[in-house]
Amino acid sequence: MVTVSQTAPLKQNLKQKTQRALGTLPPFSPILMRLLATLAEEDVSFGVLGDLIEKDTVVAANILHLVNSALYARRGTINSVRRAVSLLGTNKLRNAVLGMSIARVWNRVSMPPGWSMARFNMHSASVAVLSDLLAQKLPVEYPEGAFVAGLLHDAGRLLIALAVPQEHERVLEVYSKGGSTLTACEQEVLGFSHTELSADAIEFWKLPEEIQLAVRDHHSPPSQGFPLSRVIDAANQYINSCGESILVRNTDAADPRVIESLGLEPDKLQALLADFRTENETMASYFR
């Protein structure tokens, strides 16, 4: 029988195992890392961005496909990467490239049976797109981090399934009985939650502290003001309520009314959600 005094070290060991799993993930390509670093420069030229993207044939092809999609409704076909870069702009380009690079990393990870990488990618991408659109319409703190925070908010769930698959199954077993949130079930079984691990991952990748905090707090954001965590929570709950959750059956954190509490006028919110559906449908193919 395991005593209370023995439980704490065991759970600490589980957390260390999940944190070490970060080092086993495939790295981003050097070109993508250079591109993401370049996008942080406000005065970077489209020519420089085009040169970098052209060196990664997969990203270049996806960028051309994106700019020629129905989302941008161009009359003529765009065949030049540099022209595509100038049409998309740095913000959309940063989001698209980061999303593509993260999806490519995830798809190279060997996950245990029962884990759906397609559902994980689609949920993450959808929360990212909706968070970014909301951040453009609200006085959000650090709005430039909305897409990235949305994309990585559940990275900890992947790390738990990857590093401690037996305990992950136990979490799901407890969760399936109902009565507790997934986060509470993680705390019960593991002694920590996926939100902590997601924040650890963002620190590991050297992304800004504002994104770390938004991800860490996205299941318990303040109810007042507009911290980034509140936007991620609203987007996450809305996406889950639409059935785009990581788990086939997701019974908590799925209230579509939370997004209404952000204060957008009803007609503006409906217009934003229509834009989301169009953009999300176009972007979806890159994250499966």
The tens digit of pLDDT for each residue in 132-174 reads 999 999 999 999 899 999 999 999 999 999 999 999 999 999 9
Whole-number Cα distances in Å, 170 to 195, 250, 270: 18, 16, 39
Mean pLDDT of 59-63: 88
**pLDDT value at residue 179:** 81
Enter the tokens of residue 204.
């590991």
CA distance 220 to 230: 8
Q: How confident is the model at residue 3 (pLDDT cuts 50, 70, 90)?
A: very low
Mean pLDDT of 18-36: 83
Q: What is the DSSP letter of 23?
A: G
**pLDDT value at residue 274:** 95
Contact of 201 with 152, CB cutoff 8 Å: yes
Domains of the chain: 1-25+114-288 (1.10.3210.10), 27-108 (no CATH)
Q: How confident is the model at residue 2 (pLDDT cuts 50, 70, 90)?
A: very low
For the chain, the maximum distance between any two Cα atoms, rounded to a whole number of angstroms, is 71
Q: What is the DSSP letter of 28?
A: P
Q: How confident is the model at residue 42 (pLDDT cuts 50, 70, 90)?
A: low
Mean pLDDT of 115-135: 94
Q: How confident is the model at residue 266 (pLDDT cuts 50, 70, 90)?
A: very high
Q: Does residue 52 surpass a pLDDT of 50?
A: yes
Q: How confident is the model at residue 40 (pLDDT cuts 50, 70, 90)?
A: low
Q: Does residue 63 surpass a pLDDT of 60?
A: yes
Q: Does residue 93 surpass a pLDDT of 90?
A: no
Question: Which residues, including other chains, have CB under 8 Å from residue 149's CB and lie 6 or more apart?
Answer: 128, 131, 211, 214, 215, 218, 228, 232
Contact of 285 with 131, CB cutoff 8 Å: no
